[in-house]
Amino acid sequence: MAMAEKDEIPDIKALEMLASSVQITKEQYASLIVPKIGRINVDKITLDNGFMSVDLINYGSTITAIRLPDRELKVNDIVLGFDNIDGYLSDKNPYFGATIGRVCNRISNGSFVINDVKYYLSRNIGENTLHGGVSGFDKKIWKTEITNTNAVVMSYISPHLEEGFPGQLETQVRYVLTDNNYLVIKFTATTNEETPVNLTNHSYFNLAGHDSGAEGLYEHELMINANQYTELDPDTLIPTGKFIDVNETPFDFREFKNVGKAIESTEGAGFDINFCVRGEDLRTIARLQHEPSGRSLQVFANKPGVQLYTSNYVNGIEGKNGAIYDKHAALCLETQNYPNAINIKNFPSSLLCPREVYEHILIYKFRVEDQTVSEEEEEEEDDDDKTKKDKRKKDKKKQ
């Protein structure tokens, strides 16, 4: 497959200046009555650069749609989700597109110790805590601001001992869609007491289209820039603290591998595992590509791990436009610190201290073969490229 791109690390400041043509619109998505607060409006914000568009809602600071054309200019939504707020409020929602916090992934026994004080968390997966507890950041209403730099900033203040976590945590998620099809997501947080923090986005990607199911996902090719993964306890899916080399295992994605064949190698079970990408500099974490449509996704982040999850437990969920999402309907690439790091000493620390700033940069770079310009051509887009973009805008208005 001839879609691999150069591993050029984007400059964040330069990227965010490339948002001049992006249009941002805001409308009411839903109205909720929240106990002790009253009626609250949920907003939908759309970022549109004329080639692709992204929908966000401030319930859970959630990505609800990413619309991207294929090489024939047919537009598809490439992330799983729901048509309305009822779906996102449902117990059947497996965190579609949400911001996860305070701590994504699992914490063993729903507890940890800081400075000889033991903290007990809400437990929502047996005796353990998953994705922030019973009411994590994915279930909060975030304050929304649209800046004059074409960015959307969502913020949430988590009070001391919410879900059992110590300290007041002030969190922001900043979204920027660039003219050249990068979606830049920057998570920041500060605290007034030591507390673990590990934020991520939980989008479910299927570049064949959100409604193409396992058949579409199995056509993908995946590469993950990792030589090791964290060994799991098979009963709890919590890391043991040991690192395992990917060599000669089903977890070796150092070169592009067909997703369908990779899942077959797990006897059809699929993947739900943290890969060790090492370091905390911004670099390529993974690449995903779908040759039939020409679409590809490159994931950059500055965190040491990424959770590959192939929707193993998705079963009969009614999603957008009546689509039924089942097992292996999509995959997640959740960039993160290692799971349960607060309880495993040899993992990178997840503790955030007062006067420190937590920063997680996550970038999704989208490309469509034969449609988007190359990196070398981005600054000098020729007339043919402009014609393609104008045609894309006209076709979009017809839909």
Residues flagged as binding site: 105-106, 202-204, 272
> Among this protein's residues, is 202 annotated catalytic?
yes
Binding residues for beta-D-galactose: 105-106, 202-204, 272
| Token reading at 14 | 């330069």
- Upper half-sphere CA count for residue 238 (Cβ side, 13 Å): 19
Taken in order 275, 129, 58, 77, is the CA torsion positive or negative? Answer: positive
Upstream peptide bond of 254 is cis (omega within 30 degrees of 0): no
Helix %, strand %, coil % of the chain (to 5): 15, 40, 45
Identified catalytic residue from 202, 210, 220, 328: 202
Cβ neighbours of 305 (radius 10 Å):
28
> Among this protein's residues, is 334 annotated catalytic?
yes
Cβ neighbours of 356 (radius 10 Å):
13
| Token reading at 301 | 């982040």
| Token reading at 321 | 């436009």
The answer to whether the beta carbons of residues 367 and 181 sit under 8 Å apart is: yes
**Cα distance between residue 338 and residue 276, in whole Å:** 8
Identified catalytic residue from 16, 163, 221, 334: 334
Exposure string for 134-149, b = 16+ CB within 10 A, e = fewer: eebbbbbbbebeeeee
CA 134 → CA 3, 102, 150, 312, 325, distances in Å?
41, 12, 34, 21, 23
**Cα distance between residue 255 and residue 213, in whole Å:** 24
Active site residues: 202, 334
